[in-house]
Amino acid sequence: MTEPPFVKIYEYLIEQINQLGIRTFSVSQDVPKGMPVCRVQLLNTDSTNQFMNARQYSYSFQIDVVDAQNRLQRSLSNAYKIMQLCRQVRITGYAVGHDEPSLTSMVDSSTNQILNRQIIRINYNAIETTAF
C-alpha cells in the first residue's frame, strides 16, 4: 500500500523547508536550538467518495515560522519563501490543488524570550488519478 497523500505533502514541505536552511520540527518534537525554526503540522484531514472511480482528500496544514525578536525582516522573508513552496506541491498519482496560503504575523511573548512568529495556513485537495 502506498502512503496517503498527506504524508507525501508533509514530507515535501519538510524537505523543501530544510533545503532553505530552516530546521523543522513537528508538534511532538523538541524545538531545535537556534533560529530560525519551523514547525509543520497537519491540522485536519477529510476524504470523500465524491467521484465514481476516485477518492478526494482534503488536508489543512499549518506552518509556524519562528525567529528571534530582532529578526522580523528575516522571518517575513522566510515565510514568503515557504508560501512559494506551498504552492508547488506535486504528488505522483494525484491531482493536487490548494487555496491561497494565508499568513498571520505575531509577536510571541509566552516564553522566556520574545519571538517573531509567522503562521502560514494552507488547504490542499488531492484527487486520485485513475488509468483507464
Per-10-residue mean pLDDT, the chain, length 132 = 83 95 88 89 82 82 94 94 96 92 92 90 89 51
Pull the grid cell for residue 71. Answer: 529578526
Q: Is residue 132 part of a domain?
A: no
40: domain CATH number? 3.30.2000.30
Give the structural domain span for 118.
5-127
Q: Which pLDDT value is given to residue 114? A: 87
Query: Which residues sit opposite 127 in a β-bridge?
Result: 56, 95
Q: Which residues contact 77 (CB under 8 A, 6 or more apart)?
A: none
Q: Is residue 108 part of a domain?
A: yes
Model confidence, pTM: 0.88
Q: Which residues contact 85 (CB under 8 A, 6 or more apart)?
A: 13, 16, 17, 20
69 in Cβ contact with 115 (< 8 Å): yes
Q: How many domains does the chain have?
A: 1
